[in-house]
Amino acid sequence: MALIRSVFQDELDGVSQSLVDLTQMVSASISKATTAILSADLKLAEEVIATDDHIDTFQHELDARIIDIIARQQPVASDLRALVTALRMSADLERMGDMSHHVAKIARLRHPGGAVPAELHPMFQAMGTAAEKIATKTGVVIATRDTVMSLEVERDDDEMDKLHRQLIGTLVDPSWKHGVESAIDLTLLGRYYERFADHAVSVSRRVYFLVTGTFA
């Protein structure tokens, strides 16, 4: 029985590591997407778009592995909760990859021009930095199950929400001079970054629930 339990624990640890690997993928993806959108780098945008297929495949294979573990091991109590929570976290992480993909698609759409006016570069750079920080911290939360840090992710998201509100304020200001098409692009971009962070918060909340049995 001890050997069986040891093998099962190794499988659980493998699932946790795969979730950490996913956070690293999406963190790198949003970082590259931000560079692509700000520098009108078509090659980098295409790389982000292609990487999203890899993220999707990785997530699908992880989910299949989790379902297989549940079917074979028939876990109960905290073990079952860990595996079901992992399924939900992998879906959030995959959606984070999708947000990076969407950012990169706008960079590709507007190439060789730039989608972001020069005066808004600092704001979008800040959004990209915040998104990468949140994703990286989420990976640490998954690896360590640190409930204090899991709550920090939600506070970090407040900074992203603040930037998003500032962006919307800029776009609806009567002095906006870049036209409707640009305003639509920027509205979408802001939404993608905001949703990226929201999914990270969802993952961190699930870790908090996994550890404490209560919702943050």
Q: List domains and CATH numbers for the chain.
A: 12-212 (1.20.58.220)
For residue 214, the model assigns a pLDDT of: 86
For residue 36, the model assigns a pLDDT of: 98
Could you give the percent of the chain with pLDDT greater than 70?
98
For residue 152, the model assigns a pLDDT of: 95
C-alpha closest to that of 35 among 112, 103, 136: 103
pLDDT at 216 over 80: no
What ranges in 118-178 are assigned the alpha helix state H? 121-144, 147-172
pLDDT at 123 over 90: yes
* Farthest CA pair distance, the chain: 71
Cα distance between residue 186 and residue 115, in whole Å: 8
Q: Report pLDDT digits (tens) over 167-193.
A: 999 999 999 999 999 999 999 999 999
Cα distance between residue 173 and residue 170, in whole Å: 5
Could you give the percent of the chain with pLDDT greater than 90?
92
